[in-house]
Structure 1
């Protein structure tokens, strides 16, 4: 996995290299919007150590969603380099990017993105698109994932039979069942009340700590951002430490 070595202070011991989950170098992203060129990302240099929890905040249109798409292997930069561990995302083909998303990255969204005609367990099983596991193995792992988020008794319920917080727990189980190295959460508490928000954050931070995941949360909620180890701000396509 990629790593960097921090420069030691005079007289300090030689530091241990830091393993990086993500390394972004001079990343730009531009879009054509009618006759206008939009600079969504402008020369971003960013290193996220493996196992770190990071919150990203910023105004609407500041580049949060575009940056998350880069981290999630959902898009490529116009110029620059994006690496996830040893995977160079900037130059991968579509099939390789899909494989990386299917094996390395778990996604959690504000809108849950559950399939309404599938049960909770069946929704979790949809994460196995790239898996060679047998159907019984998939079912067993789906039920174990639901148990890990406190929803085993609801495995056979449809999304419409679950509360918003329970649906988000199903979505988290779906993200975790393939045992990713990275968990990306896009406004994961944005549609929840304050109490449920706190419960979901406790769950996310619990699985982050217990599994050694790299956790990146995009959020408008400062109370959510404050729970992360590191806070970043993106505005006008540029990232700074918050």
Structure 2
């Protein structure tokens, strides 16, 4: 379970202070699917960084289970990111010189998994997203939808409890968008993940159990 309490995040931009999050309090139960919407610059990415243990609040606390992400040292935060949180991005973020299989294996390297086990688990993860016959393909030999499937496999191969997706369908056409959302929703149900999506696409957001709107750093619930 995520619990955010009175979270504020401020950045210094030259002589100006920008408040990206304003006194945000939020609870997300384990296994919930949540969509976060809002205008560009409204605080969506900053909130996702807090949830992903990629940044700390200026004020307030961010907890995941028993771990206070706002107080832990960098080493412990790194282990939480490596073990418990999967990330999927709009731009796929695949390494262009590595095959689909090798890209997925990279997620297991920090966990001390043996080479044979990495290959076995990565192969299974790619099969689970429908790419069991594309293991040796480089990213530029795959379509956009297939590249995003590789990225999803990479995020899930370490068996995280949380999946954070930042505009996961933003670079895809409408048909491929729906295929990727079908895949994510299916994996969420099968694996009992906590799935948190940042999206501009209302059609994507409406598939979530819960919708949040963040604007000028302030968070509200969408009925």
TM bucket normalised to smaller: over 0.9
Alpha-carbon distance in 2 for matches of 1:143, 1:173: 9
Per the alignment, residue 131 of structure 2 pairs with 151
Query: Does the 8 A contact of 1:55 with 1:219 survive in 2?
Result: yes
Q: Deviations over 1:89-130 (max 9, x none)?
A: 000111111110000000000000000000000000010132
Q: Check if 1:87 corresponds to 2:64.
A: no
Q: Check if 1:72 corresponds to 2:56.
A: no
Per the alignment, residue 104 of structure 1 pairs with 84
1:39, distance to aligned residue in structure 2 (A): 0.4
Per the alignment, residue 189 of structure 2 pairs with 209
SS in 1 for 2:133: helix
Per the alignment, residue 34 of structure 1 pairs with 14
How many residues of Structure 1 are paired with residues of Structure 2 in the alignment? 222
1:131, distance to aligned residue in structure 2 (A): 1.3
Q: Check if 1:169 corresponds to 2:149.
A: yes
Give structure 2 stretches of 5+ with no counterpart: none
- 2:27 aligns with one of 18, 23, 47: 47
Alpha-carbon distance in 1 for matches of 2:65, 2:95: 31
Per the alignment, residue 232 of structure 1 pairs with 212
Alpha-carbon distance in 2 for matches of 1:134, 1:93: 27
**TM-score normalised per structure 1:** 0.91
Per the alignment, residue 22 of structure 1 pairs with 2
Give structure 1 stretches of 5+ with no counterpart: 1-20
State the superposition RMSD in angstroms.
Answer: 0.5
Q: Deviations over 1:26-70 (max 9, x none)?
A: 000000001100000000000001000000000011000000000
Higher Cα Rg, which structure: 1
Query: Does the 8 A contact of 1:62 with 1:237 survive in 2?
Result: yes
SS in 2 for 1:99: helix
- Report matched runs for 1:191-202 at 5 Å: 191-202=171-182
Per the alignment, residue 7 of structure 1 pairs with none
Alpha-carbon distance in 2 for matches of 1:129, 1:85: 25
Per the alignment, residue 221 of structure 1 pairs with 201
The structure 1 segments of at least 4 consecutive aligned residues displaced by more than 4 Å after TM superposition are none
Query: Does the 8 A contact of 1:102 with 1:129 survive in 2?
Result: no
Alpha-carbon distance in 2 for matches of 1:143, 1:22: 31
